[in-house]
Structure 1
């Protein structure tokens, strides 16, 4: 991790919600999901929040490092229909060793959509893959 990786880093992501990111498309093999309204799915919202936090880290990790999401504590307060723009703001609020905590807020034109925190861990990519391979090799 570079010395520049410290609290105060921010990122913003403007995301136009496509139909493919709505609830019926989250798990199309589930009749329970396909029967629900076409609004941004919470599962995709989490991914968009993670993406925003990863953008805040660009240029602040060493070669061979990446970050993985390890904890999510988010509200999903309002529905966002397809075609609407979701704006996500993320701020790095704590760096504790390799653990990074972000405060996040998302809104569309009509309402606050999401608030909360997200934690990421900085990993050594090569070491992570070695550990993963050890778990998946017969």
Structure 2
């Protein structure tokens, strides 16, 4: 990681919710999900939060490094309908060796949709893939 990777870095992502990111589309094989209202699914919300946190890191990791999510502590306080504009703000709040903690807040035009924290670990991509290869080979 580069010396510039320090608490206080921020990113924002704006996302218009398509029908394919609503609860009925979360796991197509689930009849239970298909029966639920067409609002932004919590599972997709988590992905959008992770995406925003990854954007915080742009230009601050060394070549060959990436991050993977290791912990999520998020609320999901309000539904966002299809076509709704979700704004996600993320701030790097702590760097503890290779573990990064982000504070996040998401909102749409009507309410706070989500708030909480997310942790990511910095990995050496090549080393990680080599370890995964050993796991899947056995």
> What's the TM-score, normalizing by structure 1?
0.99
Distance 2:42 2:53 in 1: 17
Deviations 1:76-95 (A, max 9, x none): 00000010100000000000
Q: Counterpart in 2 of 1:114?
A: 114
Structure 2 counterparts to residues 1-138 of structure 1, below 5 A = 1-138=1-138
Distance 1:108 1:63 in 2: 35
RMSD: 0.4
Q: Per the alignment, in what secondary structure is the counterpart of residue 11 of structure 1?
A: strand
Q: Per the alignment, in what secondary structure is the counterpart of residue 79 of structure 1?
A: coil
Deviations 1:85-119 (A, max 9, x none): 00000000000000000000000000000000000
Return structure 1 stretches of 4+ with deviation > 3 angstroms: none
Deviations 1:31-89 (A, max 9, x none): 11000000000000000000000000000000000000000000000000010100000
Q: Per the alignment, in what secondary structure is the counterpart of residue 32 of structure 1?
A: helix
CA deviation after TM superposition for structure 1 residue 28, in Å? 1.3
Q: Per the alignment, in what secondary structure is the counterpart of residue 83 of structure 1?
A: coil
How many residue pairs were aligned? 138
